[in-house]
Amino acid sequence: MDRIIKSEIKEEITGIPSVTLHGIGKSQLDDPHGEEDLDDDLTEEDLEQSTYDDVDTEDSDITLTQAETARSMPLSDAPMRKFPFKLKQNECGNILTVHHTIKEAGHRLRIQIAACCFNELSNKLVVIDKRGNVFIFDFVHKRYWRLGFRLPKAKLIRPSPLHNSDYIVGNKTGGITIIDVDSSIMGARGEVGNATLDELSWSNRLQNPRFSNALMRFGSEAFLVNLHTLAVSHQLDFDESRYTLKFAAFLPNSDQFFIGFSNDSLHVWSSHSLCTLRMAQPIKARNRKLRLLPVEESVPEIVLRGTDDSDLEDDLTFDCQDHDFADGLLLCYCFTPDGNKMCLSTLDGYLLVLCVASFDLEKLYRLADFTLRQMALLAQPKERIVFGITTRNQAVMLDLTNTDHKLIVQRSNAISLTLSRDGKLLSVTSRCGEVNVWSTCRLFNALQVQTRCLNQIKSTFKQPKPLPHCSVGGGVSQELRHLLKPERLKAMLKEYGCYPEKYRFLIWTSLLDLPCNGPQFQALIKLGAPLMVKNQAKKLKIRNDAQRRAVIKIWSCLSQWCKVLAHADFMPLLIYPFVKQLPKNSLVSFEVVATLILNHFQLWFEFHPLPPSNYLAMCDNILQHCDEELCQFYNSQDIAPKDFAWSLLSTAFSEVLEEQHWLSLWDNIVSEPPWFPVFLVVAYNVIHREIVIRLPDKRSVLMYFRDQNPVDISKLLFKARKLMAKCELALHPQRFMEHFRPIPKGVYPKFLKYPSEWIEKQEEQAVSLLKHNQEIDARIRHLELEEVQIKERLENGLKQEEHARRLREMEKLYQDTIHREEERITIQRKMLLTYQMEVRRRKSEVITKLHESEQRRKVLEMEKDIDLLMHSIERERRRHNQQMQLAEDEIRNQEMELLAQRYYSETAGAPLAQKYYDNIQKLCSQRDQLQQKLRDMTMEQLRSPATSSVQCNPQLVDIENSILEIQREFTEIITTETTARGYRSTYS
């Protein structure tokens, strides 16, 4: 793996390939390898849609001919040629653009860029295209060159931390290669993974060859690889079906690395022990912070699309089909240059800033209309500038301190970015096959200039008013009001059926003649929300918090303007559709509803809190006049006008119509007289009569007027106008309703068509109830205090009782324990007695066996003694035999001598019996002792019990037999001795 591999390229030149550098000057470098990987090349049609059109020719351009191209190929056996280039001097920040365009078979092909990076000193740019050609751009000497080998299928390149001129290249098949760009040498190579190399990082312990590990992630697998040998030291296996590996990288300036999973959890591991040190859940921390966020505070929001960029809305709208939600919400991450902060981008449009030391959430930003899939933090100023690639392939520059300040660096086709180590250069790789190098200093200056311009524009158009300027009312000039005459507007409405959406509320403002009384509206806001509104606002079921707050605000102002509106339960349903259309203009919403109450809804509160009987009676009379059969059906089902008319009116038709139909309907209502809603209700019933009369019961009819049903809005409006035109004067609502009167400028007139006495009584009752409630609350508090005291006493008593109970339980427990111990001791005593009996039995057996053993030992000793005695007797016998033989010889000698003496002397010697008398007596005494011992042993055996004799070992029997044999032999010896002595006596 460590040997140097040099490649010799000998292929036919098919064209004049080039690397074009856009700027004041451009250079071209040839590529003889134009016949491979054509799937990655862009054709001429693709180039027409790319930025190739900006290529221009100048006098300073250097165009290589075919001969020059052949001579300039940097082969391994030839020195590399370096070519000059110049940088752009414009102020937009783009200092260099690199793309590789070749000509083959008469067509232009652009080879896309696969990977690029800056070196550690930030003075060189290394670019690899998808055919494997490696180009190096030196920004100091303004020279570029191509290496003498290719790295096909390259995906990622990073500068090596071991040597300044070395780079680590990872391909799509999991292979790793180290190259030296200064010497054009291909170094160590190795196959580490089986997929594309996605991430590469290393620890701060690179000087030690044993611990110079790099963390490489190949898809859902990660490896710790030694940078010197490219050998895998550890493989991080993770086998879990619910979530997989998503991120893996070393923390900056640390020997610890973090791993992110698709369940949005982050784990910090030690590279020494490979154990988890800590864990974090950024998404849960974000959700918790959003839940605990006070109402008066809000999350800083970053909006990329301006208010006038409606044409970009489709490009910036989030498309869930481009992302896999099973991979979690975390999209990408980046660290600050000092490594103290970590920035995370989420799929649902949030930017999280975490502390690396503890992984605690420090800051939170909302990305309103875009998401970031790649980003990098700029070191200066104060690590607040973020460069990112959006999911719509836009390169953007964001200011986290001032969220309103942003800059779109590249509007389309951006797929990846790389930031130099010193933060001065930014490279953006485009989908069209080029790399743009930007100066971050110029981009920051452009952002500052844009910010100053926007501030000047805002200060120029800013008008000092107590309320935000109303764009659809109040500020409408008289000239514009002249242009928006009711006759012209009605003609437009008759022609198109509705007003243009962009100018709808401006037209409403003109038709209703809204005064835009800002100070008076502010005064109503300062009065706050009435108690009744506060209590009923808790029951509102509006999901959008901003719309819910706007509805409560408008309802509170209306209630302060007219007291009866605070007691009307249907007011939120009536206000909500208008507030939804004007969420950021509360003044216009308030004045629209107030104008409608003064004119169109003037009879709605006559009998409050009952439904408006007179108003509903007009609807019923007109319906009975034009459709008597439907009225008979309603009477048969006991359906009153409040069921088929009030359900439509109290919600302003918002429940039965979809949004566009509702807007068209109210375009016509504000253009017609105040009694036009009466005919709309009748027309709605008449149009749906065939469906209504076929409903089975009253409940179905009531639900029908609460649900959205298909309706032809033009037919409904035509029917209502026809009924209004043909209505008899006796039934016409204009007899009972006043004509339209707008709200005057500078004042809100009082609305008094409601039972004020009842309201006053209600308020008095409310005040008395409030006082009564306060008294009840005071008594409740007093009772609660007493209850607390009683609870304390009860708690103390219960504690004492519990203490006594526990003491009793403890005493009982101890007694039970003692009883169990006594029983256990008794059982143990019984067991001890049993054991003692068993021991005694075993002891008796052992004693018996010992006795038998002792007897055997004694018998063995006796046998030994007997054997010794037998040996001694045998020796004595032999000695006696010898002595007897000697005596016999001596006797014979003596006999011979006696015979001789008889013949020669008359003297006689002592007799032989007297001479051996003592020895014979000793033998006799020993014989008597032996016989006595034998008798004692025989008597002892006779005295022993029969059982013992029966149980006696056969060896004892043998011993006894041997003793008897010895006794017999001894008797024979004695007999022999007696015979010999008698013989000797006789002979004597």
Q: What is the pLDDT of residues 575-618, one digit of tens each?
A: 999 888 887 788 888 999 999 988 888 888 887 778 888 888 89
Residues 6+ apart with CB under 8 A from 154: 114, 115, 128, 130, 132, 169, 170, 171, 172
Q: Determine how many CB atoms are found less than 10 A away from the CB of residue 594.
A: 24
Beta bridge partners of 176: 170, 190
In the predicted model, what is the mean pLDDT of residues 22-33?
A: 36
In the prediction, which pLDDT does 127 show?
93
Mean pLDDT across the chain:
78
In the prediction, which pLDDT does 893 show?
78
Q: Which amino acid is at 591?
A: E
In the predicted model, what is the mean pLDDT of residues 285-291?
A: 88
Lowest-pLDDT choice from 88-92, 157-161, 257-261, 787-791? 88-92
Lowest-pLDDT choice from 63-77, 309-323, 373-387, 872-886? 63-77
pLDDT top residue among 659 and 918: 659
In the predicted model, what is the mean pLDDT of residues 265-269?
A: 89
pLDDT of 899 strictly over 80: no
Lowest-pLDDT choice from 3-7, 295-299, 706-710, 821-825? 3-7
In the prediction, which pLDDT does 962 show?
73
pLDDT confidence bin for 843, thresholds 50/70/90: confident
Closest CA to 668 of 656, 653, 655: 653
pLDDT of 226 strictly over 80: yes
Which of 717-721, 882-886, 898-902 ranks highest by mean pLDDT? 717-721
In the prediction, which pLDDT does 417 show?
92
In the prediction, which pLDDT does 137 show?
92
Which of 570-579, 793-802, 808-817 ranks highest by mean pLDDT? 570-579
pLDDT of 479 strictly over 60: no
pLDDT confidence bin for 537, thresholds 50/70/90: confident
* Start-to-end CA span in the chain (Å): 126
For residue 942, CA distances in Å to 795, 851, 939, 965 come to 93, 18, 5, 19
pLDDT top residue among 367 and 887: 367
pLDDT top residue among 903 and 304: 304
Distance CA 931, CA 938 (A): 10
SS (H, E, C) 632-672: HHHHHCCCCHHHHCHHHHCCCCCCCCCHHHHHHHHHHHHHC
Q: What is the pLDDT of residues 122-180, one digit of tens each?
A: 889 999 998 899 999 999 888 898 988 889 889 899 998 888 889 999 999 889 999 98
In the prediction, which pLDDT does 168 show?
92
pLDDT of 457 strictly over 90: no
In the prediction, which pLDDT does 30 show?
38
In the prediction, which pLDDT does 278 show?
86
pLDDT confidence bin for 316, thresholds 50/70/90: very low
Distance CA 192, CA 174 (A): 6
pLDDT top residue among 324 and 868: 868
pLDDT confidence bin for 43, thresholds 50/70/90: low
Q: What is the pLDDT of residues 97-107, one digit of tens each?
A: 888 888 877 78
Distance CA 711, CA 661 (A): 9
Q: Hey, what are 970's tokens?
A: 């001894």
Q: Hey, what are 131's tokens?
A: 């055919």
Q: What is the pLDDT of residues 432-447, one digit of tens each?
A: 888 999 988 888 888 8
Lowest-pLDDT choice from 219-233, 467-481, 793-807, 885-899? 467-481
Report the SS3 class of residue 255. coil
In the predicted model, what is the mean pLDDT of residues 486-507?
A: 82
pLDDT top residue among 59 and 695: 695
pLDDT of 917 strictly over 50: yes
Q: Report percent pLDDT > 70 for the chain.
A: 80
Report the SS3 class of residue 437. strand
For residue 480, CA distances in Å to 485, 492, 616, 665, 671 come to 9, 16, 38, 24, 17
Is 327 exposed, middle or buried (CB count within 10 Å of its CB: 0-12, 13-18, 19+)?
middle
In the prediction, which pLDDT does 871 show?
83
pLDDT confidence bin for 210, thresholds 50/70/90: low
Write down how long the chain is.
988
pLDDT top residue among 770 and 448: 448
Which of 237-246, 550-559, 602-611, 920-929 ranks highest by mean pLDDT? 550-559
In the prediction, which pLDDT does 460 show?
55
In the prediction, which pLDDT does 504 show?
83
Residues 6+ apart with CB under 8 A from 195: 172, 173, 174, 218, 219, 221
Torsion of CA 376, 378, 383, 388, to 10 degrees: -40
Q: What is the pLDDT of residues 332-360, one digit of tens each?
A: 999 988 888 899 999 888 999 998 888 88
In the prediction, which pLDDT does 984 show?
56
pLDDT of 11 strictly over 60: no
In the prediction, which pLDDT does 351 show?
92
Q: DSSP state, 608? A: T
Lowest-pLDDT choice from 247-251, 568-572, 897-901, 922-926? 897-901
Q: What are phi and psi of 323, to 5 degrees?
A: -135, 155
Q: Report percent pLDDT > 90 for the chain.
A: 9
Distance CA 885, CA 5 (A): 119
In the prediction, which pLDDT does 638 show?
87
In the prediction, which pLDDT does 352 show?
92
Q: What is the pLDDT of residues 650-666, one digit of tens each?
A: 888 888 888 889 999 99
pLDDT of 284 strictly over 50: yes
Asked if residue 630 lies in contact with residue 685, where contact means CB atoms within 8 angstroms, the answer is yes
Report the SS3 class of residue 42. strand
Is 303 exposed, middle or buried (CB count within 10 Å of its CB: 0-12, 13-18, 19+)?
middle
Lowest-pLDDT choice from 229-233, 606-610, 823-827? 606-610
Q: How many helices (H) and strands (E) does the chain have?
A: 27, 33
Beta bridge partners of 157: 169
pLDDT of 947 strictly over 70: no
pLDDT of 913 strictly over 80: no
For residue 560, CA distances in Å to 531, 555, 750 come to 11, 9, 11
pLDDT of 734 strictly over 90: no
pLDDT of 256 strictly over 90: no
In the prediction, which pLDDT does 387 show?
92
pLDDT top residue among 42 and 48: 42
pLDDT confidence bin for 763, thresholds 50/70/90: low
Model's pTM, two decimal places? 0.46
pLDDT of 648 strictly over 70: yes
Asked if residue 395 lies in contact with residue 428, where contact means CB atoms within 8 angstroms, the answer is yes
Closest CA to 880 of 918, 915, 919: 919
Report the SS3 class of residue 906. coil
In the predicted model, what is the mean pLDDT of residues 492-521?
A: 84
In the prediction, which pLDDT does 905 show?
57
pLDDT of 12 strictly over 50: no
pLDDT of 45 strictly over 80: no
In the prediction, which pLDDT does 15 show?
32
Lowest-pLDDT choice from 10-24, 196-210, 643-657? 10-24
What is the secondary structure of 350-393 as a DSSP string?
EEEEEETTT--EEEEEEESS--EEEEEE-STTTT-EEEEEETTS
Angle between helices 756-904 and 917-943 (to 10 degrees): 150
In the prediction, which pLDDT does 59 show?
33
Distance CA 885, CA 891 (A): 9
Lowest-pLDDT choice from 147-156, 731-740, 751-760? 751-760
